A and B are shown apart, each in its own frame.
Chain A
């Protein structure tokens, strides 16, 4: 039964990945902790492995739909290494609770901006605003 619940959350996490472009870790981690009895660190690590495969298939499908700028994605991924190393170092130096609250505050600010942008008249992407980034 636990496996069924974990698999169901996994499916939803993947769905989220396809819909909004995240890896699905936000659901994988709780699924692993609650239903498969992993520790927080074990769950985050195991989730990362699943994320790599889910993101790869998702990116492949999105590429087929014409939604991937491959060169930008490679640059983002390449420079991500600097951030990963910095993030691991910071997470060992600052209390987890402080980090969580900082992240929550940032997430709410971004959410408000995205929502305001999506709800304004004229739509999320007026044609003029899209032009500069196009290859």
Chain B
């Protein structure tokens, strides 16, 4: 892997982890756009690769918080099990819509998230 490409991946991974540690999310909010802007990823590839990274990044936080006793597995199942059906449906829908619509949906999600943080 070329050095500048590795360096960009390193920065994006660190940024994703930073957001995960700061806000208790997976880090996809920052990983997806940076893959698109810095590494010329297509939207679909950015979202798929982001999910793979989130598995690992999310696991660090989940394990650390579980050690502090902050994780409630029953509640995780209440939201997580329907979410498993959701993610399969979402990924299937994503293959059938234009990539620019994926980008616009992501932009809308960012605006909604920003609003949630401001208010």
Q: Residues of A at under 8 Å CB distance from B?
A: 3, 6-26, 28-32, 36, 38, 41-59, 61-63, 65, 67-91, 99-101, 103-105, 107-108, 110-115, 117-119, 123-125, 129-133
Most central of A23, A31, A48, A113 by chain B CB within 10 Å: A48
Residue picked from B17, B36, B39, B72, most chain A C-beta under 10 Å: B17
B contact patch SS:
helix
Q: In the docked arrangement, what's the CA distance between A24 and B51, Å?
A: 10
CB <8 Å contact, A14 and B32: no
A15 touches B58 (CB 8 A): no
Taking a contact as CB atoms under 8 Å apart, the answer to whether A51 and B54 are in contact is yes
* CA–CA, A59 and B78, complex, Å: 21
Measured CB to CB, the nearest residue on chain B to A73 is B52
Contact in complex: B109, A20 (CB < 8 Å): yes
The answer to whether A70 and B41 touch across the interface, beta carbons within 8 angstroms, is no
CB pair A10–B83 under 8 Å, yes or no, is: yes
From A7, A9, A77, A81, B55 is in contact (CB under 8 Å) with A77
Whether A113 contacts B33 in the complex (CB less than 8 A), given A14-B85, A22-B50, A45-B65, comes out as yes
Closest B-chain residue to A63, C-beta based?
B48
Interface centre among A43, A71, A110 (most CB of B within 10 A): A110
**Residues on A with beta carbons closer than 8 Å to the beta carbon of B48:** 21, 58-59, 62-63, 65, 67-69
